[in-house]
Amino acid sequence: MLGLMQQRPLLLSSLIEYAERYHGETEIVSRLLDGTIHRSTYRQVAARARRLAGALRRLGVGYGDRVATLAWNSFRHLELYFGVTGAGSVLHTVNPRLFPEQIHYIIDHAEGGYVFFDLSFIELVEELAPRLPHVRGYVALCERHEMPAVKVPNLLCYEDLLAAENEEYDWPEFDENSASTLCYTSGTTGNPKGVLYSHRSQMLHTFVAMAADVMAVSARDSIMLIVPLFHANAWGLPFAAAATGAKLVLPGMRLDSESIYTLMRDEGCTLAGGIPTIWLNLFTWIEQNRERLNLSDIKLTRVLSGGTAVPRSTIEKFQTLFGTYLLHAWGMTETSPIATMGSLLPKHAGYDLQARYDVQALQGRSIIGCEVRLVDDAGKELPRDGQTVGELQVRGPWVISGYFKGEGGQVVDQDGWFRTGDVAAITPDGYVQITDRAKDVVKSGGEWIGSIEIENLAVAHPAVHEAAVIAARHPKWQERPLLLIHPKPGAVVTKDEMLQFLSGKIVKWWMPDDVVIVDALPHTATGKLLKTKLRQDYGDWLERHSVDARAQA
Amino acid sequence: MLGLMQQRPLLLSSLIEYAERYHGETEIVSRLLDGTIHRSTYRQVAARARRLAGALRRLGVGYGDRVATLAWNSFRHLELYFGVTGAGSVLHTVNPRLFPEQIHYIIDHAEGGYVFFDLSFIELVEELAPRLPHVRGYVALCERHEMPAVKVPNLLCYEDLLAAENEEYDWPEFDENSASTLCYTSGTTGNPKGVLYSHRSQMLHTFVAMAADVMAVSARDSIMLIVPLFHANAWGLPFAAAATGAKLVLPGMRLDSESIYTLMRDEGCTLAGGIPTIWLNLFTWIEQNRERLNLSDIKLTRVLSGGTAVPRSTIEKFQTLFGTYLLHAWGMTETSPIATMGSLLPKHAGYDLQARYDVQALQGRSIIGCEVRLVDDAGKELPRDGQTVGELQVRGPWVISGYFKGEGGQVVDQDGWFRTGDVAAITPDGYVQITDRAKDVVKSGGEWIGSIEIENLAVAHPAVHEAAVIAARHPKWQERPLLLIHPKPGAVVTKDEMLQFLSGKIVKWWMPDDVVIVDALPHTATGKLLKTKLRQDYGDWLERHSVDARAQA
């Protein structure tokens, strides 16, 4: 017997409608590419999102059609978040920091009809356009007078498109399981794979983001969105902000510490979201400028961080500098991304700060709606005792069921469990402690670097017999790639030669920080590289050798 | 195009599974019928709910079958909440305070196969049983040695049923739109009508209950559940408690102020939910016992109240006595029940307490997921300007689409709007101000006078325990407000004193034409003022007493 409650679909358009109606004057603050501050409101964002929806219809972008963005965090990108999804089309946020080859693959694979781009990506768009047959037009996110001379077919101006429409547009109703956003993971093997979110999954994720034990987003928040809009729905923060009427602060492309600090200070930010590297840099900058700063200007009550493990020192720094609670989270593009969140339990009330930091240093606690479990190599479930380590699996209505176009094949088992590739322990209270990375991945400042891709390039060198890339610990970026080379018999190869060989074939920040020439590489019984052994032996290589990170260069 | 996220159904069994897994040791504290305190945990509640599910299966209670309860707030009733719904059957919570005739109608109408009852309802059950042909058995919520000699067919013992089962039971998966709970509204006209909730509606309601701007239920809460489990899912608190692992305190049938006070104190309650009458009584009792109480023992950070408008004096009392924020909510059985919630906006941060109480005295603010609007008599939408008054309508996935068995016919319009029967204004920020029930409005010479606002002002008088304003027939103005006052024990108040007290606080023509001092005011079974009875008894008061209309003066 079915209940007799209303069958209204959960649609993302309801969020911007709500924000417009009751929080219409709440500000959306953006730092533009030229550094100036732009002020908008939910009323304006909503009205312009409706104009955008009208423009999409005029351009022939329909239900389910993909719209790609190459853009930083700004009001226009936020308008795309609501305008594209509200209209029933799919917002495909592309990570512009990827190598152009990957970006080309991703946009082409998604088969989107239009690419909306910030002016900082003119060269990139020009380079890609000739090889993107599905793309019918390129929309520059600017005013008419700012329009660049980009050599792409069908170049359009965002503000012109909006000006040609009016604000009278009713958001359509459709199946809540309809696709809403699309985000590719830069996986370790093979090509990036797309995660296709639905209105339902994003709405449920929004509800949970508002929960007191999750992000507790409220109307009284001013949210600094450092996490890019192109990263897994910006951790759900834009949707949760609209759902509560919270103020949003969008820092654009200026992610240097001074820009972030002043914006957080000037806009009274109470909540910020960003990867650990951002905070490490911020603390270094604060140390250097301590005497001219009044730290009590910073009103942050909590900071959300994840993507890679947050160092305990960062947790402590936030507490001691600003009295800010660091919410340590774990999740993936495949989990929308919130899977766990580091809120406290009643028993922690009496803890001193040092003991509390130990709790906060775990990767968050299991929350309702996203199940987590551990399994061994044979797929047998392991106990949640805080000691036993196994592969982390997740399940729930905002967890992936499969990748876009079926890439990667079956990725969940018959009970719906998705293999995360992360190795972890889970305490009886549900705190997850990631003890190891997915085997092949290097996480540099929150960004994944695929080791196999670099290895494949390296072995293309005539003198190389075998190559391995491992994650070596790094004081600033947490991890940087270290390349180990086993030369062919009789062949000689040097570090400089290898780096020169790779140069231009991968993005700069993927370049290994060092190259070690070895006599042999260890293997498993089935002939696979034994990376655990390599990490044991070389994980501290960069620390021992004080090699400068290429990414800094 | 559909998204590629997991299609896991939203089921209530996931809540108790979560609570058992990660908050297994968290306490569920019950006051039993004999006054003693019983301590259970989520682990025990979950294990016993599974045993109960096994017992239901053995009794032949299947998917969609109704199971009725006549019970106070206790651990066994909580087990029924999770055991019955988790198994796919429908928990039908019956209000035992209704007249036996209504209770008979409701149980018979719902066609449930079993009635689970507390021992305080032995006589009621004996009286009803001969006329309940659908009921196959009666389960006493007690131990074997407590079994009463009740003359009903097929009398069973709850603890015996559970003892015969084991804890190995896997909650079934089914359509999330399946019926979960059933609750009848005690309408003032006609027969009660059933609201049939679904797992989906209750799960979405649970998510929103956890939101920072709604109830902000968290693992760190100890929740005093004064609102009965038979009232509209106890405002969703049992489900939200399990979803977060919050401690639950269940006061049983002892709702006298001393029992409530000591339980809140001893169990460190941080959140309490109850109707305004409970709080009025509590404050009177505290006044009488002030010298022997240490009010700082009370740890309440917030109190949830609604059902009828919360007087401003109650809001102020909570703040000044305990530093407790009163969350003023509005909702109905038909809205699951949360529709609005009185959280604050950034602009209220600078308000002094008196100005803040004015905000809190409104019936809460519109929240995401439950839309509210006003319409005039012709169905035309009215502005949300805080001034214009119209009938309140609601819409959303936890709002009714129709009553059980189609009673009452079509209750939502083609756009899904449900007519609440309440008359209200809505501010631009979304705060709802209920000015009256549509049927309680005083229509004086064609103008509406809101009875609730006058009542709220009257109870602020120190000698007043409770106040009611009704429409009394008037030869010239058709209707004029009549104020009925129930003074506090030992207090004396006169008509002139009351009118002087109100003078200047409301417009002249809203002034009651007469004031009647009474020994008590009648209430419905759900604690609301029974205005139909008052209108029967006092509707002709002005005609009989030839009182001059104040409005003429």
A395 neighbourhood in chain B, CB within 8 Å: 6, 8
Rounded Cα distance, A229 and A255, in Å: 13
Q: Tell me the residue range of the domain where A185 lies.
A: 37-198
Cα nearest neighbour of A1 on chain B: B64
Determine, for residues B397 and A1 on separate chains, whether the beta-carbon distance falls below 8 Å. Answer: no
Rounded Cα distance, A450 and A102, in Å: 12
Pick out chain A residues at pLDDT < 70.
186-190, 435-441, 446-448, 450, 452-453, 524-528, 547-553
Structure-block tokens of residue B407: 């009673």
Rounded Cα distance, A111 and B347, in Å: 46
Task: Tell me which of B173, B198, B223 is where a domain ends.
Answer: B198
- Please indicate if any CB of chain B lies within 8 Å of the CB of A212: yes
Residues B61 and B161 in one domain: yes
A180 → closest Cβ in B3, B64, B201: B3
- Please indicate if any CB of chain A lies within 8 Å of the CB of B117: no
According to DSSP, the residues that pair with A517 across neighbouring strands are: A485
- What are phi and psi for residue A459, nearest 5 degrees? -70, -10
B374 neighbourhood in chain A, CB within 8 Å: none
Q: Which of residues 2-61 of B touch A (CB under 8 A)?
A: 2-8, 10, 14-15, 18, 21-24
Question: pLDDT digit of tens for each residue in chain B (553 aa)?
Answer: 999 999 999 999 999 999 999 999 999 999 999 999 999 999 999 999 999 999 999 999 999 999 999 999 999 999 999 999 999 999 999 999 888 999 999 999 999 999 999 999 999 999 999 999 999 999 999 999 999 999 999 999 999 999 999 999 999 999 999 999 999 997 656 789 999 999 999 999 999 999 999 999 999 999 999 999 999 999 999 999 999 999 999 999 999 999 999 999 999 999 999 998 899 999 999 999 999 999 999 999 999 998 778 989 999 999 999 999 999 999 999 999 999 999 999 999 999 999 999 999 999 999 999 999 999 888 999 999 999 999 999 999 999 999 999 999 999 999 999 999 899 999 999 999 998 877 787 888 767 787 888 998 899 899 999 999 999 998 888 889 999 999 999 999 999 999 999 998 888 888 999 999 999 999 877 677 888 899 999 999 998 887 654 444 3
Residues A486 and A385 in one domain: no
Determine, for residues A401 and B6 on separate chains, whether the beta-carbon distance falls below 8 Å. Answer: yes
- Active site amino acids of A: 185, 334, 443, 448
Question: What length does chain B have?
Answer: 553
pLDDT at A540: 92
Residues A405 and A536 in one domain: no
Task: Tell me which of A419, A437, A455 is where a domain ends.
Answer: A437
The helix (run of H) or strand (run of E) holding residue B28 is: strand B27-31
- Please indicate if any CB of chain B lies within 8 Å of the CB of A410: no
Select from B368, B414, B415 the residue whose CB has the most chain A CBs within 10 Å, as the one to mutate to test that interface: B368
Residues B85 and B189 in one domain: yes
Q: Are A23 and B347 in contact (CB under 8 A)?
A: no
Chains A, B: CB contacts within 8 A come to 228
pLDDT at A553: 37
Query: For the purposes of burial, counting CB atoms within 10 Å of the CB of A546, is it exposed (0-12), middle (13-18) or buried (19 or more)?
Result: exposed
The helix (run of H) or strand (run of E) holding residue B433 is: strand B432-437
A111 DSSP 8-state letter: T
Q: Which of residues 362-401 of B touch A (CB under 8 A)?
A: 365-366, 368-369, 384, 395-401
pLDDT at A270: 98
Residues A107 and A123 in one domain: yes
Determine, for residues B63 and A1 on separate chains, whether the beta-carbon distance falls below 8 Å. Answer: yes
A398 → closest Cβ in B5, B208, B418: B5
Say what the pTM is: 0.87
Residues A431 and A468 in one domain: no
B4 → closest Cβ in A22, A207, A402: A402
Rounded Cα distance, B259 and B253, in Å: 10
Q: What is the CATH number of the domain that holds B419?
A: 2.30.38.10
Residue B9 is assigned to a structural domain of this protein: no
SS3 B277: helix
Radius of gyration in angstroms for the set of CA atoms belonging to chain B, rounded to a whole number: 24
Task: Tell me which of A437, A464, A491 is where a domain ends.
Answer: A437
CA of A418 vs chain B CAs: smallest distance (Å)? 10
Among B83, B131, B92, which residue's Cα sits nearest to residue B115? B92
- Please indicate if any CB of chain A lies within 8 Å of the CB of B411: no
Residue B318 is assigned to a structural domain of this protein: no
Residues A63 and A170 in one domain: yes
Residues B470 and B507 in one domain: yes
Structure-block tokens of residue A371: 């199940």
Render the burial of A4-17: b for 16+ CB within 10 Å, e for the rest: bbbebbbbbbbbbb
- Please indicate if any CB of chain B lies within 8 Å of the CB of A90: yes
Q: What is the CATH number of the domain that holds A173?
A: 3.40.50.12780
- Please indicate if any CB of chain B lies within 8 Å of the CB of A350: no
Q: What is the CATH number of the domain that holds A459?
A: 3.30.300.30
- Please indicate if any CB of chain A lies within 8 Å of the CB of B325: no
B2 neighbourhood in chain A, CB within 8 Å: 175, 177-179, 198
Determine, for residues A211 and B213 on separate chains, whether the beta-carbon distance falls below 8 Å. Answer: no
Rounded Cα distance, A306 and B526, in Å: 47
A212 → closest Cβ in B5, B195, B216: B216
Determine, for residues B349 and A220 on separate chains, whether the beta-carbon distance falls below 8 Å. Answer: yes
Determine, for residues B196 and A3 on separate chains, whether the beta-carbon distance falls below 8 Å. Answer: yes
Let me know the angle formed at the C-alpha of B170 by B164 and B176, rounded to the nearest 5 degrees.
Answer: 125
User: What is A249-289 written as a DSSP string?
Assistant: EE-BT--SHHHHHHHHHHTT-SEEE--HHHHHHHHHHHHHH
B34 DSSP 8-state letter: T
Which spans in B422-530 are helix H?
Answer: 451-458, 495-502
Structure-block tokens of residue A449: 């670097």
Determine, for residues B207 and A207 on separate chains, whether the beta-carbon distance falls below 8 Å. Answer: yes
Determine, for residues B3 and A212 on separate chains, whether the beta-carbon distance falls below 8 Å. Answer: no
Residue identified by tokens 């985000």 is A183
The helix (run of H) or strand (run of E) holding residue A37 is: strand A37-41
* Cβ atoms within 10 Å, residue B60: 11
Could you tell me the CA-to-CA distances from A312 to A196, A290, A319, A422 in Å, in that order? 34, 21, 11, 20
Determine, for residues B200 and A244 on separate chains, whether the beta-carbon distance falls below 8 Å. Answer: no
* Cβ atoms within 10 Å, residue A158: 23
Select from B1, B202, B404 the residue whose CB has the most chain A CBs within 10 Å, as the one to mutate to test that interface: B1
Residue B6 is assigned to a structural domain of this protein: no
Residue A353 is assigned to a structural domain of this protein: no
Determine, for residues A18 and B368 on separate chains, whether the beta-carbon distance falls below 8 Å. Answer: yes
Q: What is the 3-state secondary structure (H, E, C) of B101-148?
A: HHHHHHHHHHCCCEEEECHHHHHHHHHHHHHCCCCCEEEECCCHHHCC
Radius of gyration in angstroms for the set of CA atoms belonging to chain A, rounded to a whole number: 23
B384 neighbourhood in chain A, CB within 8 Å: 21
Rounded Cα distance, A530 and A515, in Å: 18
Rounded Cα distance, B432 and B416, in Å: 20
Q: Which ipTM did the prediction report?
A: 0.89
CA A77 to chain centre: 15
Residue identified by tokens 């009660």 is B192
- Please indicate if any CB of chain A lies within 8 Å of the CB of B217: yes
When divided into structural domains, chain B yields a total of 3
Query: For the purposes of burial, counting CB atoms within 10 Å of the CB of B485, is it exposed (0-12), middle (13-18) or buried (19 or more)?
Result: buried
Residue B250 is assigned to a structural domain of this protein: no
Residues A387 and A471 in one domain: no
Check if B448 is active-site: yes
Check if B494 is active-site: no
Residues A448 and A402 in one domain: no
Residue A21 is assigned to a structural domain of this protein: no
Query: Which of B176, B334, B466, B479 is an active site residue?
Result: B334
Cα nearest neighbour of A371 on chain B: B18
Let me know the angle formed at the C-alpha of B315 by B310 and B320, rounded to the nearest 5 degrees.
Answer: 160
Determine, for residues B219 and A346 on separate chains, whether the beta-carbon distance falls below 8 Å. Answer: yes
Residues B392 and B470 in one domain: no
Q: What is the 3-state secondary structure (H, E, C) of B404-418?
A: HHHCCCCCECCCCCE
pLDDT at A551: 41
Residue A312 is assigned to a structural domain of this protein: no
pLDDT at B187: 62
Determine, for residues B211 and A207 on separate chains, whether the beta-carbon distance falls below 8 Å. Answer: yes
Rounded Cα distance, A129 and A131, in Å: 5
B8 → closest Cβ in A213, A349, A416: A416
Rounded Cα distance, B355 and B361, in Å: 10
Q: Are B237 and B215 in contact (CB under 8 A)?
A: yes
CA of B173 vs chain A CAs: smallest distance (Å)? 11
pLDDT at B105: 96
CA of A338 vs chain B CAs: smallest distance (Å)? 14
A5 → closest Cβ in B3, B247, B398: B398
- Please indicate if any CB of chain B lies within 8 Å of the CB of A154: no
Rounded Cα distance, A80 and A45, in Å: 9
Residue A145 is assigned to a structural domain of this protein: yes
Residues A194 and A62 in one domain: yes
CA atoms within 13 A on the CB side of B158: 23
